[in-house]
Amino acid sequence: MKRAGVDIGGTFTDVIVFDEETGDIEIAKTPSTPANPAEGVIDGLRKAETGIEALDFFSHGSTVGTNALIERELPRTGLITTEGFRDVHEIRDATKDDLWDAYEDVADPYVKRRDRLEVTERIDVDGAVVEPLDEADVREAARIFEARGIDTIAVSLINAYVNGEHETRVAEIVAEEHPEAFVCTSHEILPEMFEHERTSTTVINAALVPVVREYLTDLSAELSERGYDGDVLAMHSGGGVMTTEAIAYYAARIANSGPTAGAIASQHIAESCGFENAIGFDMGGTSADVSLTHEGDIETTEEWAVEYGYPIMFPSTDIETIGAGGGSVAWIDDGGSLRVGPRSQGADPGPACYMRGGDEPTTTDANVVLGWVDPEAFLGGDMEATAEPSREVIERDVAEPLGLGVTEAASAIERIAVANMCNAVRLVSTSKGYDPRDFALVAFGGAGPLHAAHVAREMSIPTVIVPPYPGINSALGCLLVDIEHDLSRTFIADATAEVVGDIETAFAEMETEIRERLNEEGVDDDGIRIDHELKMRYAGQWRSLEVACSRPIERMEAVRDRFHRRHERTYAYSDRDQPVEIYGLHVTGRGVVEKPAFPGIEPGTAAEARVGTREAYFESAGGYVGTDVYDRSALGAGATIEGPAIVEQMDSTVVVPPRASAETDGTGNIIITVPQ
């Protein structure tokens, strides 16, 4: 079986093709094509020797949904809601990202007020109909939307999470009056209480469906025309994959898929190297994504947002993203201070050294000036690039204004970029009660291995792991995941033995629905794994924590104990004398996909892989020093390297700074030991 994994990034589209029979691996990188992401995918697959028609499996991660939300490149969307609740979407939860900035403007709602229409109806908190649905109101709303050319409609009625009959009827009426419209109902998308969160998730999901459907349709058609007849699978934010048919309705689930694929791969690589605790550090051309794995499990979150104030309540890997990529622009603010990012040159025009019209200094340009990167070796020499433009833009825009030499300016850009990355690592570790010294740093992305050892030194992380193909690690993650669906449900009760029977009944209903979904996607019952969780909190708390439980539940006392321990780790305190409350239920079903097993590499020495020496600048060494350069593909198992050293490969460059050392393990991972 030949499997292809693809990651559509902001700068590059990465491809890995794995042949299970021979163990052969092919990798490719090609510039992304934002106007039509499918073109970049096809270009990348063409670079691989395996033809598209020979593929048996195709899975990919994408930033298409995320970018559409960031850039607000969305279809005009309508919202139907209960009379009196038209402004829930805009009022939000009345908080701001910066608590102390009273003048900060919040992001505009995704649906304009004039496109939020009310209908008469009311269901109470127990699901009883207090006021019947006025179908005339619904028909009028549908006609208004049709007249305005609005074909994407979200429906979020009060208390629909306990009784969705009114929303179902609204969807039926809209289909009668406005057959061209796509309708998304909140009780199907997120059957949970809290009106704003449910409405926000439903609106974002509805708005993304046309965007995601268009690119998936194009991609499926392109692959089909070239002979691929399997499923086109897409990574979703929770760490599994979904079929095109499922994504066509649950589009918001893939809004964070690219970074999630990287987190999955970093977990797998750390585990293969014997580390249960790992921090995934993915630095590409536009941003840096940082994730955390603790005791073998990736940290997840139930609430995340592309823009503050508009949450997406689908489960997602807990990832911190900052504007610190190879293309991040270095600039001087009004106070005369040097900044790096968050603005990026992206794939087009890219850094100045790319010679595509980029005329601003970037982190990559600084790396070129420092001698860490040989621009003539980009993408194995397939990309035209040169060093002189990097020196010119850094001298003009940074060195001269600050009275620095070009090398000093480039080093300053690098140090600031590292400081930005360290802040992201702190957000997933120390800010959540984890000690970075207990973790390994898994560095990937085209630029991650360049900076990882410096980040590790600043954060007192003792070990850095660089996988064999760091530049396409997120694409690798797409080969390591299962087909997955999850359901959540509001369930409020005291966490006592008396409610176990009701929980079991609810779990059984949710499990049946998940099995049906997976069966429809071709997964047999024998290949399905089900996990159950309770959302729990101390009575009176607002936020809850998810706690794993077995089914059947043996003892509620044991579940409460796990909650206390989780609360202690998350918030640094617990109170076993306080009553514990169940807030909701969560069930995840996985159609287990066979994972590829990667072959080992032959033993070898570093001397066999050494290709030369070049001058590279290291602040800790006080200037430029002669630095050995190695060919990654020639490094055998057991090869040891003493820093300073540079290891080059097609998709990335690894920097081993002075006083650090590195060793290649049996499957080709480079393990860097960073002295503290």
Return the HEC string of 571-624. Answer: HCCCCCCCCEEEEEEEEEEEECCCCCCCCCCCECCHHHHEEEEEEEEEHHHCEE
Please name which of 108, 2, 101 lies closest in space to residue 54, comparing C-alpha atoms.
2
Q: What is the pLDDT of residue 394?
A: 93
Q: In angstroms, rounded to a whole number, what is the distance separating the alpha carbons of residues 66 and 615?
A: 40
The residue whose two tokens read 């095109």 is 244
For residue 381, the model assigns a pLDDT of 53
Strands 278-283 and 440-444: parallel
Closest CA to 586 of 527, 542, 546, 539: 546
* pLDDT of 201 strictly over 60: yes
CATH topology of domain 2-70+212-254: Nucleotidyltransferase; domain 5 (3.30.420)
Query: What per-residue confidence (pLDDT) applies to 347?
Result: 62
pLDDT digits (tens, 9 = 90+) for 109-133: 999 999 999 999 999 999 999 999 9
pLDDT, mean of residues 411-438: 92
Examine the pLDDT at 241 and tell me if it is beyond 90: no
Q: Which residues, 6+ apart, have CB-to-CB distance to 542 below 8 Å?
A: none
pLDDT band, residue 457 (cuts 50/70/90): very high
- pLDDT score for 38: 86
Question: What pLDDT is stored for residue 148 in this prediction?
Answer: 97
Angle at 37 between CA 34 and CA 40, to 5 degrees: 100
Kindly list the distances between the CA atom of residue 572 and the CA atoms of 562, 575, 578, in Å, as whole numbers in the listed order. 14, 11, 16
> What confidence category does residue 637 fall into, taking pLDDT thresholds of 50, 70 and 90?
very high
Q: Return the structure tokens found at 443.
A: 């560095």
Q: Grade residue 56 by pLDDT with cuts at 50, 70 and 90.
A: confident
Is the confidence at residue 286, as pLDDT, over 80? Answer: no
| pLDDT in the model for residue 456 | 97
Residue 96 scores a pLDDT above 90? no
Q: What is the band of 538 on the pLDDT scale with cuts at 50, 70, 90?
A: very high
- Intra-chain end-to-end CA distance of the chain, in Å: 45
| The pLDDT value given to residue 299 | 86
| Three-state secondary structure string covering 455-489 | HHHHHCCCEEEECCCHHHHHHHHCCCCCEEEEEEE
Once rounded to an integer, what is the mean pLDDT over residues 411-434? Answer: 92
Q: What is the pLDDT of residue 376?
A: 72
Mean pLDDT across 573-585: 92
Considering 1-5, 16-20, 308-312, 595-599, the range whose residues carry the highest mean pLDDT is 308-312
The average confidence (pLDDT) of the chain is: 89
Q: How far apart are CA 474 and CA 6, in angstroms?
A: 8
Interatomic CA distance for residues 380 and 651, integer angstroms = 8
Q: Considering the entire predicted model, what is its pTM?
A: 0.81
**Nearest Cα to Cα of residue 82 among 177, 191, 167:** 167
Distance CA 6, CA 41 (A): 7
Mean pLDDT of 61-79: 86
| Lowest-pLDDT choice from 269-283, 517-531, 532-546 | 517-531
Please compute the mean of the pLDDT values over residues 135-155 and round it to a whole number. Answer: 97
The mean per-residue pLDDT over the stretch 151-158 comes to 97
pLDDT in tens, 205-234: 999 999 888 888 889 999 999 999 888 888
* The CATH number fitting domain 483-591, selected from 3.10.20, 3.30.60, 3.30.1490, 3.40.50: 3.30.1490
pLDDT of residue 147: 96
Asked whether the predicted pLDDT for residue 598 surpasses 80, the reply is no
Higher pLDDT pick, 105 / 655: 655
Of the two residues 246 and 391, the one the predictor is more confident about is: 391
Q: pLDDT tens-digit profile of 364-383?
A: 899 999 999 887 766 555 55
67: alpha, beta or left? (left if phi > 0; alpha if psi -120 to 50):
alpha
Banded model confidence at residue 276, pLDDT cuts 50, 70, 90 = very high
Query: Which of these, 59, 484, 479, 465, lies nearest to 266 by C-alpha position?
Result: 465
Q: Which two tokens stand for residue 22?
A: 């021979």
Secondary structure of 556-583 as H, E, C letters: HHHHHHHHHHHHHHHHCCCCCCCCEEEE
